[in-house]
Amino acid sequence: MPTPTSRSPFTMLAPALALAFTLGFAGAAQATEQHEKPRTLTITGEGEVSAAPDIAYVETGVVTEGKTAAEALSANTKAMNEVFKGLGEAGIEKKDMQTSQFSVYPVYEQVKSEDNRPQTPKIGGYRVQNKLTVTVRDLDKLGGILDRVVTLGSNQLSGIRFSIDEPQPLLNEARKDAVKNALEKAKLYAGAAGVALGEIMSISENGSSMPQPMYMKSYASMARDESVPVASGEQTMTSSVTLVIRID
């Protein structure tokens, strides 16, 4: 007959002791974690910097027509050569003159029969379009350059874009202003709440905006003897940051 195995009191209590130890350790760790988690203030700041544009992009070109494609192309080439020459004489470098579009396409005429019924259109000639983007780095010369290209034969001037050639330094100033703005607001809130600001725990950039090109409307219909007034205005760069600051 088997003899019953005797178990000591310690053996019987061991699982319960282990569980109690585990729960106690976890509770202590959780309490420590809650105790050590710092109080923080999260604040957002904005900054912006405005500056006058220092560069302009002029969209110009020549459109010609002829009975044949060769005739239209010859007339276009002659006119564009005059435009290129005049721009060079005005101080525009070759690197700042770029063809943006070139096309040759037929011009159709609507034909009607003797009984006035519409017929299949026929080719009545050809049109050549040559568009040019001109970069003007000296805005004081911009008005004179516009007058010049029109005088030299450009019959397609679709507009001007103003921009800032190197916006990065200005954008960095906007970022600095955003951090400064956030710190000023943090001091205000901390003072009102009766707490002291500690170290900055994190800085994150919410976004920044580079200047968008400013457009001047088309002036192709302007009389050739009329001077061209140009106003470039200002462009603005913005930045937004979020700071997480410890408070005591």
- Please tell me the pTM assigned to this model: 0.68
Q: Which of the pair, 231 or 97, is modelled with greater confidence?
A: 97
Q: Which of the pair, 79 or 2, is modelled with greater confidence?
A: 79
Q: Report whether pLDDT(170) > 90.
A: yes
Cα–Cα distance, 180 to 158 (Å, whole number): 42
* Amino acid letter, residue 200: I
Q: Report whether pLDDT(208) > 90.
A: no
Burial group, residue 64, by CB count within 10 angstroms (0-12, 13-18, 19+): buried
What lies within 8 Å, CB to CB, of 41 at 6+ separation is 186, 189, 190, 195, 197, 244, 245, 246, 247
- Residues 137, 157 contacting (CB under 8 angstroms): no
Cα–Cα distance, 160 to 172 (Å, whole number): 27
Domain coordinates in residue numbering, the chain? 40-51+168-211+239-247, 55-163
Q: Report whether pLDDT(64) > 60.
A: yes
Domain 55-163: give its CATH code.
3.30.70.2970
pLDDT at 215: 55
Same CATH topology for 40-51+168-211+239-247 and 55-163? no
CATH number for the 40-51+168-211+239-247 domain, one of 2.60.40.10, 3.30.110.170, 3.40.109.10, 3.40.50.300?
3.30.110.170
